[in-house]
Structure 1
Amino acid sequence: MPGRDRISELPECLITKILSYLPTKHSVKTSVLSTRWKNLWLTVPSLDLNRADFRYREEGHVVILRFLDRLLDFNPDSRLLKVKMKCYWAEIKGLKDRISTVIQRGPQHLDVESSVEYLYPGTYTYYPYVEFMPLNLYTSKTLVSLKLTWSGVEDPGFVCMPCLKSMTLVKVHFREDVTLEKLVSGCPVLEELTLVRDIDSSFVGEVDGFMRVRSGSLKRFCVPLWYGENFSVYVKCISPSVKCRLEIDAPVLEHMSLGEDQFDIVVVQKKLTSLFMLDLDISFALDSGELFLYGISSVGHMIISEKTVKALELYSRVGLIPKFNNLSRLEAVFPGNLLQFLPVFLECCPNLKHLILEVVHLREMEDAFELTSVPQCFLSTLECVELKRIHDWEEEEMKVATYFLENAAVLKKLTLTLTAYPRYVSDEEIFEEVNKVKKRSPTCQILRDWELC
């Protein structure tokens, strides 16, 4: 029927379920719809509170606390299953106590972004500030996922979070160096850990010299490139002013991603025999290279950046790179001036099947290069090669393509991925030239692909 309010006819449990998918500021607005809707937002099993939604005033934190108190006092026996609180750049005195009350309600998901500054009374001067989490957080029996941003973690003493499977710690301030190890070790079913070190905090230098990730259940570990809220934004972070060592002891780890140089030394305590996927965009210290490389040598799929290739090449001058016997897929960005290192590294991958290679800075090379040695994988396993993001096509690019075609005995596909940049040589001319190369593998197909830029 036209004009009929079908939503209001739904049972309250279903309405509150719908409202739980909205930010709290939107669910509060429904209170003006009718008498029935007046208090429905107070029964929603989730809280998504953003300080920016409250008008700024000198005592603005009081309004936020009153709002929280009304919500928490309305039905003391109700559970808040999902809680997200964002404080932005202002201290909210008393927030720690409210978070403690929220934790007592048995949430499954908790996401807190704390303040990093406070305004000194009567001035316009901001000072560094850390909001430490309440101690009952570390003994929560219900939390499944936890995310803390710019928060403080004191030495929790005893940690027991038996249901926690996912933890994200972004620029968290630890009171002691051993706090991270205690926190992770106290989560017996933890499967995912994301860690962003606080390298530009005013508190850096008090501790922050050593971090250990020790877990018998951890399957995914990520140290992402980070800026603001978006982990995937690739920017150059501030170089750490304090040296920090990261030790990883996670025997069942399957996926690991290390981005940016947030740590001066990364050590893998035991060989990660379950490691399937590894994404590296780091440099590593030469004196710890042996332990790190041996620890990751069982990986099946590896992605390495230009920065990591440079570190590997440097290490190869002073140490022996271990064999990556399980590696079947490799994605690598090689600087043009290190192409001589390509056969050396591929020799360490005797069972490689799929290679995705991007070569950068070829135009900046001063000396000619030759690729002559033939790695073992060329003779027995290498089936697919993709030369990625080809901007130009000159002698150097042709040399790389020829190297694979003339030497890979079981190659099935060579794919040239061309960018949309204008080139002096047409696509047709490129493939005509490549097809003239005498292929060692008679069944090899030369394919083309395009990448929009």
Structure 2
Amino acid sequence: MPRCDRISELPEPLLTKILSYLPTKHSVKTSVLSTRWKNLWLSVPSLDLNCDDFPYREDEVVLSFFDRLLEFNPDLRLLKLKVKCGNFEIEGLKDRISTVIHRGPQHLDVNGCINYIDRDTQTYPFIEYMPLNLYTSKTLVSLKLTYSGVEDPGLVYVPCLKSMTLVKAHFRDDASLERLVSGCPVLEELTLVRDMHSNFEGKVDSFMRVRSGSLKRFRVPLWYGEYCSSLFVKYTLEIDAPRLERLTLGEDQFDSIAVKSLDSLFMVDLNIKFDPEDFSKRNEIRYFLSGITNVRHMIISEKTVKVLELYSNVGMIPKFINLSRLEAMFPCDSLHFLPAFLECCPNLKHLILEIFYPTETEDVYQLANVPGCFLSTLECVQLKRIHVWGEQEMEVATYFLENAAVLKKLTLSLTNYPRYVSDEEIFEEVNRVAKRSPTCQILPDWDLCE
């Protein structure tokens, strides 16, 4: 008895919807299944293409593939286009991408080429600037550009764009980013990865301004790739976004950061460094810290803690009145700064603390002063990724237990790293400490053990 092919019995719109979740190279392979499937992939409303997947990567083959797709159904609207152009320029591919944009996609992801080969087979760095009709698309909802050129066409208006990611994009001038962002009136999420290894003289951006009345999430992450350290090309970043709720600054090559009107800021994640000993930078540090004082959730790396510690010696850290949750990695030699920083967080409720040991040390740093939040608001403390247990770890745990008057939970996150004392012995030792808060529980948290 022949088996029934239930998948082929499905209606065509449902089949093309299923195929849209596959890379195009896989959906094309379904054309050999039967006569019905022969041209079905040509009606899929998405294109996910890696030009390096074509045999010998001949330009004419890539372009003819695009042409067949676009000509088979001139009325087909590609809702999603993802193209990885490969290392070398494909002359004419930009025109095909322009045609797709004209048909009204909602999602566009272009990974541009980075090299050009001349007739003598010499290779040169290359920037492929995006088609001009990108900047007036009325349908785009999300946009990701990698190694692509961005310029100011004179008019930028992308009325539906909500999410934009620019990875090592090349801007024609310092104003191109500002004009692009300002021309997206409903943009909510922006991720920016700067190219600090440009092969083009003068192409490393020195000034970037992000100005948006709709932006809610802005990320400048630390980029891990072929190179993990930058060429130390400093630049100025200016942020003017009154509705911004979440800010992540992971790259550390800022000459200065200026923030304006961040009244809605909820969370900030900082892995940045300045030089507080540079007299000219002290005011910029003060203005930046004052600009984020409304934040409610803060994450700071050991690098940023060091900056704050050095700055506290020459200036005054502002009060973070609304801050209720703090996640911080403190270098062990900066633990003496912890009480002073917590004094700037008068309404702190939840603290996640990880102690960073850059080198082996036998010194034990004392924690002396008691911040105001210990007496009124601090309810939960998590000591994260405890690899070893010694005097310093016990000193930190004791500091919170003996001084936090309203503490409800002290959570210890013990990793599987070999220790001379067992987990049971650690908890027994900590439980012998006289607790200022009689209701405080001392708990393990294996979920934090990474």
TM over 0.5: yes
Counterpart Cα distance in 2 of 1:21 and 1:194 = 24
Instruction: Give the counterpart of 1:339 among 325, 335, 339.
Output: 335
1:356 aligns with 352
Alignment partner of 1:428 is 2:418 = no
1:407 aligns with 403
1:203 aligns with 200
359-368 or 431-440, which deviates more: 359-368
1:195 aligned counterpart, secondary structure: strand
Structure 1 residue 35: Cα displacement: 2.3
Unaligned runs of 5+ in 1: 229-234
In 1, are the aligned partners of 2:115 and 2:123 still within 8 Å (CA)? Answer: yes
Counterpart Cα distance in 1 of 2:129 and 2:60 = 19
2:69 aligned counterpart, secondary structure: helix
Q: How has the CA–CA distance of structure 1 residues 363 and 241 changed in structure 2, closer, same or farther, with 3 Å as cutoff?
A: closer
Alignment partner of 1:177 is 2:174 = yes
2:239 aligned counterpart, secondary structure: strand
Structure 1 residue 350: Cα displacement: 0.2
User: What is the total number of aligned residue pairs between the two structures?
Assistant: 443
Instruction: Give the counterpart of 2:116 among 115, 118, 140.
Output: 118
Alignment partner of 1:265 is 2:262 = no
Instruction: Give the counterpart of 1:106 among 104, 107, 127.
Output: 104
Structure 1 residue 363: Cα displacement: 6.2
Instruction: Give the counterpart of 1:94 among 92, 95, 99.
Output: 92
2:424 aligned counterpart, secondary structure: helix
In 1, are the aligned partners of 2:384 and 2:449 still within 8 Å (CA)? Answer: no
Instruction: Give the counterpart of 1:313 among 301, 305, 309.
Output: 309
Aligned-pair identity in percent equals 73
Structure 1 residue 247: Cα displacement: 0.5
Question: 1:388-403 alignment to 2 at 5 Å?
Answer: 388-403=384-399
Structure 1 residue 369: Cα displacement: 2.3
Return the TM-score normalized by structure 2.
Answer: 0.95
2:56 aligned counterpart, secondary structure: coil
Counterpart Cα distance in 2 of 1:421 and 1:206 = 46
1:277 aligns with 267
Question: 1:122-271 alignment to 2 at 5 Å?
Answer: 122-123=120-121, 125-203=122-200, 205-206=202-203, 208-228=205-225, 237-270=228-261
Return the TM-score normalized by structure 1.
Answer: 0.94
Counterpart Cα distance in 1 of 2:169 and 2:428 = 56
1:49 aligns with 49
Counterpart Cα distance in 1 of 2:137 and 2:358 = 55
Q: How has the CA–CA distance of structure 1 residues 425 and 369 changed in structure 2, closer, same or farther, with 3 Å as cutoff?
A: same
In 2, are the aligned partners of 1:264 and 1:285 still within 8 Å (CA)? Answer: no
Counterpart Cα distance in 2 of 1:183 and 1:205 = 21
Instruction: Give the counterpart of 2:60 among 22, 41, 62.
Output: 62
2:309 aligned counterpart, secondary structure: helix
1:161 aligned counterpart, secondary structure: coil
In 1, are the aligned partners of 2:48 and 2:83 still within 8 Å (CA)? Answer: yes
- Which amino acid in 2 is paired with 1:128? P
Structure 1 residues 343-373: Cα deviation after superposition (integer angstroms, max 9, x where no partner): 0100000000010101111863465422111
Structure 1 residue 148: Cα displacement: 0.2
Structure 1 residue 107: Cα displacement: 0.2
Q: How has the CA–CA distance of structure 1 residues 338 and 144 changed in structure 2, closer, same or farther, with 3 Å as cutoff?
A: same
Q: How has the CA–CA distance of structure 1 residues 328 and 204 changed in structure 2, closer, same or farther, with 3 Å as cutoff?
A: farther
2:414 aligns with 418
1:355 aligned counterpart, secondary structure: strand
Q: How has the CA–CA distance of structure 1 residues 387 and 103 changed in structure 2, closer, same or farther, with 3 Å as cutoff?
A: same
1:182 aligned counterpart, secondary structure: helix
2:294 aligned counterpart, secondary structure: coil
Q: How has the CA–CA distance of structure 1 residues 452 and 354 changed in structure 2, closer, same or farther, with 3 Å as cutoff?
A: closer
- Which amino acid in 2 is paired with 1:11? P
Q: How has the CA–CA distance of structure 1 residues 417 and 207 changed in structure 2, closer, same or farther, with 3 Å as cutoff?
A: closer
1:231 aligns with none
- Which amino acid in 1 is paired with 2:228? C
Structure 1 residues 109-129: Cα deviation after superposition (integer angstroms, max 9, x where no partner): 000000111233333x42111
1:264 aligned counterpart, secondary structure: strand
Counterpart Cα distance in 1 of 2:43 and 2:25 = 14
2:25 aligned counterpart, secondary structure: helix
Structure 1 residues 80-116: Cα deviation after superposition (integer angstroms, max 9, x where no partner): 1100000121111111111111100100000000011
- Which amino acid in 2 is paired with 1:245? T
Structure 1 residue 191: Cα displacement: 0.4
- Which amino acid in 2 is paired with 1:182? R
- Which amino acid in 1 is paired with 2:180? L
2:191 aligned counterpart, secondary structure: strand
Alignment partner of 1:290 is 2:280 = no
- Which amino acid in 1 is paired with 2:166? L
Counterpart Cα distance in 2 of 1:14 and 1:419 = 48
Unaligned runs of 5+ in 2: none
2:8 aligned counterpart, secondary structure: helix
- Which amino acid in 2 is paired with 1:112? V
- Which amino acid in 1 is paired with 2:331? P
Q: How has the CA–CA distance of structure 1 residues 2 and 285 changed in structure 2, closer, same or farther, with 3 Å as cutoff?
A: farther
- Which amino acid in 1 is paired with 2:441? Q
Structure 1 residues 267-292: Cα deviation after superposition (integer angstroms, max 9, x where no partner): 1123x221112111111354221121
* RMSD (Å) for aligned C-alpha atoms: 1.7
